[in-house]
Chains A and B, each alone.
Chain A
Amino acid sequence: MTGQSLPLLATLGWRNLWRHPRRTLVILFAIVLGVWFMIFSAALMIGIVEQQLQDTIFNLTGHAQIHNPKFRDDPAIEHSMPAPNQALLEVLNSRDVVQWSARVRLPAVAMSVRESRGVMLVGIDPQRERGLSFIGEPVVEGRALESISDNGIIIGRRMAEKLETRIGQRIVIMSQDRDKEVADRGFRIVGLFQAELEATETAYVFAGLATTQKLLGMGSDISEISLVTNSREGLDPLVARLSNAAPELESMSWQELEPLVVTAMEFYEAFMVYWYLIIFAAMGIGLTNTMLMSVFERTREIGLFQALGMRPRFIVGQVLMETLILLVIGITIGNLAGWLTTDVLLASGIDLSAFAQGTEQFNMASTMYLTLRPNDLLQINALVIALGLLASLYPAVKAARYVPVEAITRT
């Protein structure tokens, strides 16, 4: 095909489409619906996964962590690490790190007058947790911790219910200290935090970093350093730099820390492609049928074209162009509809709080946010155009194979 003939094919394709406006509108509607559905389900699926990722990162994980190499397998006090040295501090305070914080994180038992529970005692630096984890956010009741040597403790809202205690009362925290003796201490509850998942609210209690270190006789030792960075791509080099600065410690990105989240993301991405194919099959079969019909109807006309000297590949081109125009219109409207539903209509998320316990069962937050990624849009549109043209190849080739004389004489 020469460059000149393209406009001609486009004109032919466009006019052919509107010979049967009703038929074109029906198949157009199927394409729009299909494209919209692909976009919507991608946004829903990716939204759920991204939110799980955000929650995981905000749930004391961060983008990367540094530990004693033995700590992750066996989170015990003897697997603590020293406070960061000069070399490590240099990397931590570099431009790539938005926020970092040192924590003590050890198993303990929390006892109120009536009940006792196993918890994770987390000693934090309140100022540094801001923007790093959920505990840096304001608490739902009472006050947040004010400094590393704050004497109060913050527990989960639902934890307070389980322990039958409330703000202002004391609970006893019991754990093992450096010499493997039982260390215990009473804390006054100064604030209650709230988390989306009940498991989070009952898993952690937060005290000042220095207070915790003193209670457990740890000196300046800590359990972990957690950090967030501002670029996803820069994470791996950053982790490598951390490893270089502290070779005796273990520096890991969230992908290594939470392999399940990564597995889930990969699973969903693979699943999405299958899902697209199913949706495409549903509309593709209609597309092939419609193009076939439109070619059958035009048998005589196509025969005439050929008799007048049009090459078979131009006939293929003509049908493909017709499909392309159809697909482009369908995709444009579909994308628009997809953007409208995800970014405008449902921009504030889908509220499932009526099913809060159910979403909890799935480890999901009760509000679902749709996430539209440019990459997914690109993938969907490319897939629909490629497969759509493929689906109309059969009718196109069919038309090109007509024998002119037979085709013209057919009624």
Chain B
Amino acid sequence: MATTVITGRDLSLTIDSKSYDAQATSVTLKTNLERNAYETIDGKAFYALDTTAELSITMLADWGVNSPSYSICELLWGKADSAPNTALAYTFTAATGAVFTGSVYPSFPDAGGTGKDAQTVTFVLQGTAKPTLTIS
């Protein structure tokens, strides 16, 4: 098999029908499988209990930028402020043919930065459930 390389250029993220590609510098979808371990007389046994997911995003801040497009920071802040218990659907493409879908709860993006650099925000969005992977 030839070596395959996929890069950040293959990534794509949409949350609540808004594309994050132009602003996001790093996106990671982490799915955790929680297991209990039991010491039995035959040795250690594991049992899967629950699955959680979280979406970690680092992006260039876009506070105050609503023209000609929209501000992701302000959209997310508005959702976290007005409907924090309403999940937002997301689509996260790792590469063509490998697409994760699910829902995350909104959270408040950070605001701030250093004097020299472009402002960036980092936040973690908690998933409602294990994402669905669609392979095509």
Is chain B a partner of chain A in the same complex? no
Q: Which of B's residues lie within 8 Å of A, judged by CB?
A: none
Q: Which of A's residues lie within 8 Å of B, judged by CB?
A: none
